[in-house]
């Protein structure tokens, strides 16, 4: 799982939508970490959902992602590190938009593209853990009509974006099925997403 987690490619908004199993808006209620019965480290995140943009609606979701948020003490008194580069970081009270993948066969789940699929809301702006770098690069919009705010949004090369415009744009993209999921043939060889299975 650690090896696979670190092999992610840059992803734009169409990639994130196309590969997501669930997209939610909400706030982080609790973050806990530990080592499971399978002896693999995990971070368990509980999110109170205010809006389900894609996937089954639920008032709360809880998922475990591979790796720890911070080192834990081991039984022998030493620190058990268990940290995985690129995994999203969470804290209670944080407002988030999450592009989530499927739960793996061993019960782990994370955001698409790791930190690329986890957006934090601060001061009316949204930003993922890679500073939104490449979020709108090479996005196929076809002949879709965009309003002035959306036209400005899609010219963003990096940095925070307005949450209202982004979420409105995202809802349209999902509801109108702008980007169709790739066929099974294409996904079988893809390494763009980590479900940590």
Residue with tokens 């909400």: 26
Proportion of the chain above pLDDT 90, given as a percent: 63
Residue 169: pLDDT over 90: yes
Region 59-69: mean pLDDT is 91
Residue 47: pLDDT over 70: yes
Which segment, 53-57, 66-70, 84-88, 116-120, is predicted with the most confidence on average? 116-120
**Residue 90: which of 42, 48, 33, 28 has the closest Cα?**
28
- The number of angstroms, rounded, from the C-alpha of 56 to the middle of its chain's C-alpha atoms is 16
β-bridge mates for residue 63, sequence order: 45
Q: How far is CA 125 from CA 20, 137, 174, in A?
A: 22, 19, 20
Residue 44: pLDDT over 80: yes
Name the pTM for this structure: 0.83
Q: How confident is the model at residue 85, as a pLDDT? A: 74
């Amino acid at each position: 799982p650690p090896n696979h987690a670190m092999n992610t490619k840059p992803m734009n908004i169409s990639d994130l939508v196309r590969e997501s199993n669930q997209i939610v808006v909400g706030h982080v209620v609790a973050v806990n970490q530990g080592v499971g019965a399978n002896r693999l480290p995990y971070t368990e995140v509980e999110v109170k959902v205010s809006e389900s943009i894609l996937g089954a609606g639920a008032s709360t979701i809880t998922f475990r992602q591979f790796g720890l948020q911070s080192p834990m003490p081991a039984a022998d008194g030493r620190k058990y590190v268990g940290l995985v580069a690129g995994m999203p970081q969470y804290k209670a009270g944080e407002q988030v938009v999450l592009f989530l993948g499927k739960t793996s066969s061993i019960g782990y789940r994370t955001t698409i593209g790791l930190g690329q699929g986890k957006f934090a809301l601060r001061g009316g702006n949204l930003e993922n853990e890679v500073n939104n770098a490449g979020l709108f690069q090479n996005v196929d919009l076809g002949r879709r009509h965009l309003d002035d705010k959306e036209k400005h949004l899609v010219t963003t090369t990096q940095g925070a974006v307005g949450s209202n415009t982004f979420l409105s744009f995202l809802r349209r993209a999902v509801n109108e099925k702008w980007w169709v999921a790739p066929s099974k043939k294409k996904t079988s060889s893809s390494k763009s997403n980590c479900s940590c299975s």
